[in-house]
Structure 1
Amino acid sequence: MFVIDNVSAVISVYGGALPIAFLMAITFAIFGIFVVLKRMVFIGVTLSEVAACGVAFALIHELPPFMGAALFCLVVVAILAYPYELSKLPRDTVLGTIFIFASGMAILLVAGSGFGLEKVKAILYGNLLFASTGDVATICAVMIPALLALLIFFRPILYSFLDRESALSLGINVWRYELLFFIFLGLTVAAASRIAGVMLVFCYLVVPSATALLLSRNMVPGILLACFFALFTTMLGVMTSYQADLPPNQLIAVISCCFFVFAMIHNHIRNRWSQARAAIVSVTLSLLLVWGLSTLTVTGETASPALPLASQPALSEISEPAASSSAQVLLTEENCELPHDWPTIVADVEKIATQSPAEAAEKAREALKLNPPLFFAEHLNEIIAQHAE
C-alpha cells in the first residue's frame, strides 16, 4: 500500500521534478481542452514528435535542447496557423505528413549520431526523474506565461475555436488568436519534450481533457476536472513508479487511459440508467484501480534497496583526497543491505566522468551490482556505454 514514508521518499527522489510534473499536467490539461474542442487531437502527437526531432538535432549540434525543440515547433506552428477551413486540404492531412516526416527524421538523426541506446530512449520517451535544474527553469519560464496569456485571452480564443464564423461576425480576429494559441502550445511542448517525451506530452494534451469533457457539459468545470485528472494520475503514476520500480512516464499514460475508460463507462450508464448508478460504478472502478496499483511492489532478486535516505554521505561532501576511496566503500557489495542515495550516486559518477571517464565507467559497473531502480540503472548503463574503454 502507499504509505507516508513512500510519499516523503518520492518527494526526496524527484525533488524539483515533481512540482514541474504537476505544472506540466495543469498546463497541458488546460491547453488540451481547446485542442479537443477544436477536434485537433493529432496536433499533440505531431508537435511532440517534432519537438523530439528538434531535441535530437540540438544535441547533435551541441545546442540547448529547448532551442532546437522550440525552433522546430514554431516552424510547424506557422504552417498549421494557415486557415485550412478555407481550403480543400484538411489540416489533419498536413498534421499527418508532418508527423511522419518528424518521426522518420528523429530516428535518422539519432541513428547517425553515435548516441547510446539510453540516450536515444531519453530523447524519444523522456523521464521525469532526470529533470535538471535547467529543465525546471525552462519549463517555468515558458509555461507560466503561457497559462497567463491563455487566461487573458480566454474568451476570444474560446469563441474562435468553438464557432469560427460567429467569432468573425463579432469582429474577432480569429487568425490572430489561433496563431497565438498555437505559438504558446508549440513552446510548451518544446519545453516539456526533453523530460516528458512524446508519449506523456500527447497523453497530457488529450486524455485528461477528453475524460473531463465526458463528465462535464460546461467549460469551467471541464477545465477543473481536466486539471484534477492530470494531477491525480501524475501523483498516482509517480507513487506506483517508485514502489514498483517502473518507468513513470509510461505509467502515468496508462493510468490516464484507465480513467478515460471509466469515464466512458460512467457516461454510458448515466445516459442509460441514472447519474447515481453511474457514479457508484465509476468510483468503484477507480478505487479498485488505486488499490491494484498500491499492491504492486518489486519482489525477489529484482527488488531495489529503499531509495532516498540521508544515512550515507554524498561523494561531494567528502574531502577530495578521500573521495575516490569513499566512493569505493559506498558502492561495494558489503553495503548492499544499506539504503542508497541513488540520485547522489549517479550525480557523483557523472562528475567523475568529466575528469576520468574510465574510472566513471568502473564506478557505474559497481553501482549496477547493487540493483539500482530502473531509472538509475538506465543512466548508469548510458555512462558505461559512453566512457568504457
Structure 2
Amino acid sequence: MAFDLTAASAVLKEDYLGPVREQLNNDNYVIQKLVEKKQEATGKEFYVPLHIGRNNGVGYRSEGAALPSAGNQKYKQSTANVKYLYGQIEITGPTIKAMRNDKGAFIRALDSEMKGLLRDLKDQRARALFGDGTGRLATFAVNTTVNTLTVNQIKYFQVGMLIDIVNNSNVVTVTGRQITAIDTTNKTITINGAALTTAATDYAVVTGDLNVEAMGLGGIMNPALTLQAINPATDTYWKPSVMANGGTNRALSQQLMRQALDLSELAGGKIDLMTGSYGVRASYEALLQQLVRYTNPMELEGGYKALEYDGRPLIVDRYHYSNTMYFLDMDEIDLYQLSDFEWMEDDKGSAIHKVPGFDKYEGTMFAYETVVTYRRNAHTALTDLTEPAGYSV
C-alpha cells in the first residue's frame, strides 16, 4: 500500500509531536523550569492576581486599649496576553509522488524537515523568552546609503534571516530584507536589496515580529516597562531592583552579587536561580580564580551543569542580554500557555494540508504562550558588567 498523505499525517502528528515538544521544553534550563510548572491560560487575555499589600490592622496596645481597626490583604489584577509562535514545513507534490512506494524515503525527507523546524522553533522561542516582547534584535549605528550596516550587537542575527527596520517612533520603515553576511569582528550585517540609510535610533526585528513576541525575562527585568497592564511609574512596587552603573561597565565582584541577592530578599524574594550571558559566566570564573577558589559545577536536573554562588546555580544562555546577570525567584515567574506545541489540523483532522493553487503541501506547528510574573520586585538585575574580550557580540 502506498505511503499516502493520510499515513504521512498520522506519522507527523503521532511520531513527531511528542519528541518535538520534549526537546523544545528541554532546550535550556530556564525553559525547562518554566514548563515544569506552566499554567493553562483560558483565553487570549487572562488575569494574573497580584498580592500587593498586607493587613495593616495589626499593632501592639496597652492593656484595655481599643483594638486595631480591621484591615485586609490588598490585591490587584494584572492582565496578560498569550503570543502566537508558528513554524511550517512544506513538501512538494513531486516529492510525495516520487516516494509513494518507499515509506523509509518519505520518513527521511519528513525527518529532515522536522529537524530543521525543531531547530528554528527552539531558536525563536529561546530568544523571545529572554527578550522584552518587542522583538528588538539590535540598534543600528548611523549608516549612509550602504548594504553593510553597523549594529550594536550581532548575536541575534543569522544569515538568511529576514528583518524589518523600525524607527524611533516604532514604525516599520523597511521590511523583508534578507541578511546575506555577518561580520562578528566589526559588528556588521549585510542585507540584500537597495542600499539603506539608518539613524542611530533605528533598530531591527525579525520580519513581522514587532511587538507581537512573547514576553520574556528582559521585559520583566526592565523597571521602566509597563508589564501586564501595570505601569511601574505609578505603581512603584511593580519593578525589579536594578543595580546599574550609568552605562559604564565594571568588574563583577562578590560584593555586587551579594548586594543583588540581598535586595531581592529585602523585598521578600527567595532567589533560587541566577542567569547570565556567556561573557558574564567567564567573568565569574575569572573572579573565582582571583580568589583562589575552585567550585565543582553543580549538577542540575536534566543533565545541566552550572557554577554556583551561595548555593544558587548560575545558568547561561546565548540569548541572554550581554553584560547582565539576573537574580530570579522562580516561584514568582510562570509560563502561561493557551496551547502547548501542536499541529494545525484541517477539518478532517489532518496535519498536512494542500496549498491552494500550488502542487505542494504544508504542515504548521504552533504554540500560544507568554511569561508572567507575580512579584516583579522579587527579582534583581545586575547590569553594566565587564565581559572578557570576544564575548560582547
TM-score scaled by length of structure 2: 0.27
- More strand per residue: 2
- More helix per residue: 1
- Choose 1 or 2 for highest CA Rg: 2
TM-score scaled by length of structure 1: 0.27
